[in-house]
Amino acid sequence: MIPKRTWQTVASVIGACIVSYFLYHTIQGDRGWLAMLRLQSDVNKSQETLSRLQQEHKELDHRVKLMRPGSMDPDLLDEKSREMLDYSKPNEIIVLTPPDKKPDMLQRNK
């Protein structure tokens, strides 16, 4: 027969193993505390990207409104036509860049 003290020790070790198992998965598991922190970081980055893209959308929408027939902006029309036809005014300074290094339209206007 096994002494009572041995049963208590075995029960304590098994209990500690069970608590350790659940504690480990609470912190490190797929739905644990660290996973929650990673997801919150991803959500914050996505929200920043969303707000940046919404701002770019507003700027592009504004430029599109300026190009509509009822409210054509002469400066924007002049800029676009010279850009597309590669024309310049006599008093302008031209800076040539390689095609792969051309700045984006939004970058130039900021």
Q: What is the tens place of the pLDDT at every residue in 24-43?
A: 999 998 889 999 999 999 99
Amino acid sitting at position 24: Y
Neighbour count for residue 25 (Cβ, 10 Å) = 12
Amino acid sitting at position 40: Q
Is residue 27 within 8 Å of residue 34, measured between CB atoms?
A: yes
Is residue 34 within 8 Å of residue 28, measured between CB atoms?
A: yes
Q: What is the tens place of the pLDDT at every residue in 43-87?
A: 999 999 999 999 999 999 988 887 777 777 777 777 878 878 877
Write down the pTM of the prediction.
Answer: 0.51
Domain boundaries, the chain: 31-109
Read off the tokens for 72: 């054509």
Give Rg (Cα) of the chain.
32
